Amino acid sequence: MPSVARPKPKAVAIDDKIRTVIFDLDGTIYDKRGLAARMVSRLWWCLPLLMAERFARRNAHYVQFASEEEFFDFFFVTMARGHWWGPRIAEKWYHLVYLPTMVRLIRRYHRIRPEARTLLRLCRKRGLQTAIYSDYGSVIEKLEALNIEYAQFDLLVSAPQLGALKPSEPSARRVLELLQADPKTTLFVGDRDDKDGATARAVGAEFLLIN
Ligand SMILES: [Mg+2]
């Protein structure tokens, strides 16, 4: 039987001057292809809420809120606008249905990307500081679902915790501050140039695109 050649993961490297590596999570640490379609097929019974979540997320882009509480107040009010449900139902659905479903699907169908595995190994070998900076919540749950030891990271943070989705210069500066990192020796790693790349550029840090 002919053997099927597996595509080799692309070589990834980190410049010697880099001391801190900040990873995006979804699409960067794991390949998220197929996840959106799976979410729709699992949550077809609440499709209007799923669409309202997309709508609220789009509306929250490029808005800086003073706190996580303000971010989610806006988010759930926007999700409820023009619908029969109120913000509190949107909030319950988001935390009790939407995020747990995403975590379950990641556990079942998704794996760590080879490039991410290589980069994480390289960071450990060189003793670099690492962080996860994600636009979504449930960071620990997703890392556990992917069998990734979350305690290896120096910081786990979601964009809403900092009051704004990516790209946000104040939030990126806050992440650097929490890590006591210099942007000149920091590398952002992500699958979206318009989000992760723009975040890196906003603070003058380097960016590595994984896609
Ligand atoms: Mg991503």
- CA 27 to centroid of ligand 1, rounded, Å: 4
- CA 190 to centroid of ligand 1, rounded, Å: 6
Task: Look at residues 108, 138, 156 and tell me which one is the last residue of a structural domain.
Answer: 108
Percentage of the chain surpassing pLDDT 90? 91
Q: What is the pLDDT of residues 103-145, one digit of tens each?
A: 999 999 999 999 999 999 999 999 999 999 999 989 999 999 9
- CA 25 to centroid of ligand 1, rounded, Å: 6
Give yes or no: residues 28 and 86 share one domain.
Answer: no
Q: Over 90: is that where the pLDDT of 63 sits?
A: yes
- CA 139 to centroid of ligand 1, rounded, Å: 12
Q: Report if residue 103 sits inside a domain.
A: yes
Q: Over 90: is that where the pLDDT of 187 sits?
A: yes
Give yes or no: residues 130 and 194 share one domain.
Answer: yes
- CA 84 to centroid of ligand 1, rounded, Å: 31
Q: Report if residue 1 sits inside a domain.
A: no
Q: Determine the structural domain holding residue 50 and report its residue range.
A: 35-108
Give yes or no: residues 117 and 202 share one domain.
Answer: yes
Query: What integer is the mean pLDDT of 65-77?
Result: 97
- CA 3 to centroid of ligand 1, rounded, Å: 33
Q: Over 60: is that where the pLDDT of 4 sits?
A: no
Give yes or no: residues 102 and 191 share one domain.
Answer: no
Give yes or no: residues 115 and 81 share one domain.
Answer: no
The answer to whether the pTM exceeds 0.75 is: yes
Give yes or no: residues 61 and 154 share one domain.
Answer: no
Q: Report if residue 14 sits inside a domain.
A: no
- CA 8 to centroid of ligand 1, rounded, Å: 22
- CA 32 to centroid of ligand 1, rounded, Å: 8
Q: What is the pLDDT of residues 38-53, one digit of tens each?
A: 999 999 999 999 999 9
Q: List, in order, residues 6 or more apart from 82 with CB less than 8 Å away.
A: none
